[in-house]
Structure 1
Amino acid sequence: MSDIRVLVVEDDPRTAEAHGAYVGRLHGFVLAGVAGTAAEARRRLREAARAGERIHLVLMDFSLPDGDGLSLCGELRASGLVVDVIAVTAERGLDAVRRAVAVGVVQYLIKPFGFPAFADKLEAYAAYVERMSRPVSALSQAEVDTAFSALRTSNAAGLPKGLAPQTLAAVEALLAAAPAALSATEVAAEIGLSRVTARRYLEFLAEGGVARRGQRHGGKGRPETEYARE
């Protein structure tokens, strides 16, 4: 497999330089350039496509001087330009996470972070690309599941296997915005998870002191556990 060409889209020069250096440390990746604005990112992507030097991956900050990165992602997708995006942002609000999923962002990396977390995301992406680049005309269900699992099993330090950082951020943001405590069933319905999966995230937040548990009484049967942001 040829090197994965990466464009860093980041308006802060020092941060952009650091992320570019991180890319350079990873085997199988090459830095294709740095863009500080949405306009520059558009130009670089189009020029690379015309020159036959496709950019495979964009590391996209959401806050840019001339627009927001999520809108740019949607624009790229609508234009038919084939490029994957990893969100690299301090934005962790539930709406932002939902919009990122809607425009096809494949990974979500929350600032601040160090090189290990960065490498974990990009190496997971490389595994996904490798699995999707096999010389076959069609993939079995198992092969498709395996390819996508490469993106979903990359965990931040201290995060149990099977829990995704972007989903954890969405659950935490939902609790922070909620006017009252929520049950696992309510969180599951709001974010689109199973009740069991939602409860795993809620329990992780509770055990870490980020959320507090309570008991909801009043219905039939046993009291239901509810969770609120500390």
Structure 2
Amino acid sequence: MGEAINASRPSLLVLGEFERDGALSTCPSIGLLRAIRASRLELEVIIVTSQPSAYALQDALRLGVNDYLVAPVGPDRFIQSVRQLSAYHDADAEHLSQPEIDQLRSIAYPSRAWVPRELSTHRLEIVRRMLESETTPITAATLAAALGISRVTARRYLEYLVTLGEIDVDSISEARGRPRKLYSRAS
């Protein structure tokens, strides 16, 4: 297989690892990836695995894996990974500012998790659309009432979007009680 990769010179390789012992270092795909790296082929790699482990992730990252996906992988998450790699390679400026470098680095090596398991991708998109249509900041209680979910759940979605930098949060102190948090589109 290494010869086929060398001959065809693909730009992206998706490796599937469905190991039993949780250690990618003993799997054939990691051996193949080591051989590819030793031959200095410029190749982006996404690993799809059935056994997530910190050791396997560390092995994969040391070998320059661009993304590490845990099976079963939803099509949205896989497409996100491919689009990020595409955006990274579409950058063509010679002289980049630090914010542009940070943006490209975050695409190539995402430091943020995709959607946490306790959040629904579908509901997250509904929350995003609702926030886009709002002209004034909203509270978690307002979002909860609009979506028919609990305030705590609404706050989880809002705080997740804050960590992604998609929305801003401001605390407003009132005469009594704790401050209210108002969420709005990032400026």
Q: Distance in 1 between matches of 2:6 and 2:86?
A: 23
- RMSD of the TM alignment (CA)? 2.7
Aligned to 1:170: none
Aligned to 1:55: 10
After superposing on structure 2, the runs of 4+ consecutive aligned residues of structure 1 that deviate more than 4 Å are 157-160
Q: Distance in 2 between matches of 1:154 and 1:44?
A: 33
Larger-Rg structure: 2
SS at the partner of 1:61?
strand
C-alpha distance 60-156 of structure 1, shift in aligned 2 (>3 A): farther
Q: Distance in 2 between matches of 1:75 and 1:146?
A: 30
Q: Distance in 1 between matches of 2:118 and 2:59?
A: 24
Residue 135 of structure 1: how far off its partner (Å):
4.8
Determine if contact 1:124/1:154 at 8 Å carries over to the other structure: no
C-alpha distance 105-90 of structure 1, shift in aligned 2 (>3 A): same
Tell me the TM-score normalised to structure 2 length.
Answer: 0.52
Q: Distance in 1 between matches of 2:84 and 2:116?
A: 14
Aligned to 1:98: 58
**Structure 1 unaligned spans of 5+:** 1-39, 49-53, 161-203, 205-230
Q: Distance in 2 between matches of 1:63 and 1:78?
A: 24
Residue 87 of structure 1: how far off its partner (Å):
0.8
Q: Distance in 2 between matches of 1:154 and 1:120?
A: 12
Alpha-carbon displacement from aligned partner over 1:50-90 (angstroms, at most 9, x marks no partner)? xxxx31110012358x9521222122111111101011111
Determine if contact 1:61/1:87 at 8 Å carries over to the other structure: yes
Determine if contact 1:62/1:69 at 8 Å carries over to the other structure: yes
Instruction: Say which of 133, 151, 155 aligns to 2:114.
Output: 155
Higher strand share: 1
Tell me the TM-score normalised to structure 1 length.
Answer: 0.43
Q: Distance in 2 between matches of 1:123 and 1:159?
A: 24
Aligned to 1:220: none
Determine if contact 1:59/1:86 at 8 Å carries over to the other structure: yes
Q: Distance in 2 between matches of 1:121 and 1:157?
A: 16
Q: Distance in 1 between matches of 2:96 and 2:51?
A: 35
Count of residues paired in the alignment: 112
**Structure 2 unaligned spans of 5+:** 20-25, 120-159, 161-187
Percent identity of paired positions between Structure 1 and Structure 2 = 25
Aligned to 1:77: 37
1:46 aligns with 2:46: no
